[in-house]
Each structure stands twice: as C-alpha cells, then as structure tokens.
Amino acid sequence: MNFILAEEQLMYVETVQRFVREKILPQVLSLEAGHRFPRALIEEAWGLGFLNLCIPREVKDFEIDIISTALIVRELSYGDTGISTSAMCNDLANAVIAQNGSDEQKRAFLGPFVEAPLIASFCLTEPGAGSDNGAMTSFIRKRDDGKYVLNGDKCFITNASYASQFTVFCKVGKPGGVMMACVVIPAESILNAEIRPQATGGREIILREGGMIMTGKPEDKLGQRLSNTATVTFEDVVIDETQIIGNRRLGFKYAMDVLDYARPMVAAIGVGLARRALDVTLEYTKERKQFGERICDLPVARDTLVAMWKKVELADLALMKAAWKVQEKTEDRSLFASLAKNTAADAALFCTTQGLHLHGGYGFMAEYEISKLARDAHIIDIYEGVREVQDMIIGRELV
Ligand SMILES: Cc1cc2nc3c(=O)[nH]c(=O)nc-3n(C[C@H](O)[C@H](O)[C@H](O)COP(=O)(O)OP(=O)(O)OC[C@H]3O[C@@H](n4cnc5c(N)ncnc54)[C@H](O)[C@@H]3O)c2cc1C
C-alpha cells in the first residue's frame, strides 16, 4: 500500500486544478453573487471529461475508477462546491443505471450523456420523506396494458431546472407499501443554446408517451448558489417496463448502494471546500498584521491554523480510505463512506467557521471568499444523509 498517485490520477488532478485556477476561481464570487447556474462552465467540464465519471467502459470506451473520481470531485470542489455538486449529481442519477441497468438500458439512458453535455437529476427526497426515504408517497400504478403511471412530488432536487433525464425512486405494488422501484424518465434534450441565461421560473415538460413533469422555481439558497435546486412534480407520467431499472422491487437497495458510492463523493466535496478555506485563511493571515506581527504568527491564531490543517488532512485520509473500500466493494464500505462524509463535513464546517473568524470583520464581508465558503459548508452535513443518519449507519454496522 502507498499514497503515491498513479500517473493517470496525477494527470486528472493537474487538469482539474488548472481548470479551477483559470476558469472558476477568477470569477467565482461574481458568478455566485448573480446566483446563476454556470451552464457554460459545466459544459467545459464535460468537454474535459470531469462529468459522468460513473459511465462504464461499454458505453464510454474508458472508465474512471472510484479513487480517481474522488480526486476529481475534490479538486473541482476546491473551486466551487455548487459546481461540483451539480457535476456530481449526474453520477448520482446515472450510477443507479450503471450499477443495475441492462445493457440496453445503459446504452439508451447513459449514451446521450457521452454524446452531449446533458444534465441529470436524482429524485429521492420528498417533502414528507427526507432522512426517512421509506416514507415516500410517489407511486407507480400498473395499468391493464402493462405500462405504469407515476405520480408524486420530489423536493430539493439538484439540477431539476436543467435536467434532460430524471432518475426517480417511487413506491410500487401497494401505495403506502414498502416496495420501491427506480425508474428513468428521459425528458427533453437541453443544451446551452436552448437555455435562458437564468431559469427564473419553473418548467413544464409534456412527455410524448403521456403525462407531465413540472419543476418549481429554482430555490433561493443560503449557499452553493451555483448549483440549481428545485421541486419536481410527476403527473400521470406513463412509464414503460423498459424504464424500470433492474428488479422493480429493489429500488430501496439500489438507492442505498448508490449512496455508498456517492457519500465518499460528498466527502470529496467537503475536503475540497475545507482545503480552500484553509488556503484563503493562510493567505490572509500571512498578509495582515496586528500587534506588529502577522496574524499567522500570533500563537493562538497559529494554533487555530494548525487545528484547521489537521482537520483537512484527517478528512482527506478518511476520504481516500472510503473511496478505496467502495472501489474494492468491501463488506464494510458503508461504515467508511459514512465516516468519510461526517469527517469531511466536520472539517468543512470547522475550517470555514475558524477561517472566517481569523479574517475578523473582513470575513463577514461578501467580497472575501471565506464568507461564501462558510455559507456553502453547511449543506455538506445535510445532503445525502444528515450527520445523525451517518452515525446511525455507523452504529448499526458496529453492533
Ligand atoms: C441543496 C440541496 C440539494 C439536494 N439535492 C438532492 C437531490 O439531488 N436529490 C435528492 O433526492 N435529495 C436532495 N436533497 C435532499 C437532502 O438529501 C435532504 O435534505 C436530506 O437527506 C435531509 O432530509 P430533510 O431535509 O427532509 O431533513 P429531515 O430528515 O427532516 O431531518 C432534519 C433534522 O432532523 C434530525 N434527524 C433526522 N433523522 C434523524 C435520525 N434518524 N436521528 C436523529 N436525528 C435525525 C437531524 O438533525 C436532521 O438534520 C438536497 C438538499 C439540499 C438542501
């Protein structure tokens, strides 16, 4: 075992770092202030191969392993975690298909993402079913002709306003029952040219096969303002059997499997953010002098910087271990995925709070990046399972 990156991994890291340095960081504060979805940057990231990392070799000609995926997400997140959240959401939606779809489904539902910079949504959360996904009420009812009809409301859905395809979890069998299915709904191909600069309203998508998808107005969020989040309503959407992924009763298992894959990626988002907070704070405290000394040389402030560095490095270790466990499909991968997510969220929250504090009053000003990072950090501890849910998983595995 060693911690030396393979040549290919180094190349990924350096390419993303260059993209972040040249394309994201110089404009991140102005983009974020405009609360605008950075579609052009996402397209550029697609062109460089940073999107759709989970698409398998049989569809894309090449494959990116989980550790490399975590490295790419971590480096992209150093630039902006809204952008990396939107980019990663394609993988969240598409990993279910890659992991459980038939060859035909992989070609049909993943192929378009290789051909064009399309965006996908992963629809699990509902207004009454957040941490407790099993309480969802979205339902597919079987018709006499063998097709199904989907009705339901989803909330907090990343990329919803721009998605060309929706991966949706819903109940099947009896409404209120326990069986869950996973269905894929290709909606419409949305490319940059067809998008208004800022989607301020909702979308109504009339589906050729029957039914309608409605997305709400993009949510006005505390942070991660460069990712898009909206509600999605499915009204009498006709679902063919070919749109049901794998076994139609195993949706819950598929959702849990994909979260095992995705939690290290959220950890990667947290580590990237925490490292950025450390770096901007180091830069600031090396510049600013008080009591005749650089702030970074004042002993108590130095201790805070050391504590921040430790959090970043430990979270990075937890991330790499979880990515390795998920890559090797070890029995205890859920345990380590949850550990990495919690450790990275803690690092992001700690480093942004302490980093803002070390900026003094300037840290409270919007023109200092640390104030944006502090807003962005909170969601790491919430999406893809709140901290307590990760602890529940860890506790369950332990005993
Ligand atoms: C910006 C953003 C993007 C998102 N993107 C997506 C997406 O693309 N797709 C998707 O499906 N969902 C998405 N989500 C939803 C996200 O995963 C949920 O918000 C999250 O799982 C928590 O659910 P909830 O908000 O309903 O909180 P709740 O489940 O209501 O929890 C609220 C609080 O209750 C406490 N709590 C909950 N459960 C427990 C427990 N078991 N033990 C102890 N305390 C507990 C915790 O303190 C928790 O923070 C997104 C959310 C946001 C904000």
pLDDT at 200: 63
| Structure token pair of residue 324 | 């390795």
DSSP string, 30-77: HHHHTT---HHHHHHHHHTT-S-TT--HHHHSS---HHHHHHHHHHHH
Distance 120 CA to ligand 1 centre (A): 20
| All domains of the chain in start order, with CATH | 7-115 (1.10.540.10), 120-248 (2.40.110.10), 253-398 (1.20.140.10)
CA of 126 to the centre of ligand 1 (A): 10
DSSP state of 364: G
pLDDT at 175: 79
Res 193: pLDDT:
40
CB distance 345 to ligand 1 below 6 Å: no
Catalytic positions, written as ranges: 384
Half-sphere exposure of 343 (CA within 13 A, CB side): 24
Supply the residue whose CA is at minimum distance from atom 48 of ligand 1.
Answer: 386
pTM for the model stands at: 0.96
Asked whether 122 lines ligand 1 (CB < 6 A), one says: yes
Q: Decide if 253 contacts 260 (C-beta within 8 A).
A: no
Place of tokens 């992209």: 76
Q: Is the CB of 383 under 6 A from ligand 1?
A: yes
**Helix/strand/coil for 246:** coil
240 touches ligand 1 (CB under 6 Å): no
Nearest alpha carbon, ligand 1 atom 30:
130
The C-alpha atoms of residue 251 and residue 152 are separated, in whole angstroms, by 16
Tell me whether strands 165-172 and 139-142 are parallel, antiparallel or unpaired: parallel
Coil, helix or strand at residue 154: strand
Q: Walk along the chain (399 residues) in steps of 10 and give the mean pLDDT of each run.
A: 92 98 97 92 95 95 95 98 97 97 97 96 98 96 97 98 96 91 87 49 91 96 97 98 97 95 97 98 98 97 98 98 96 96 98 98 98 98 97 95
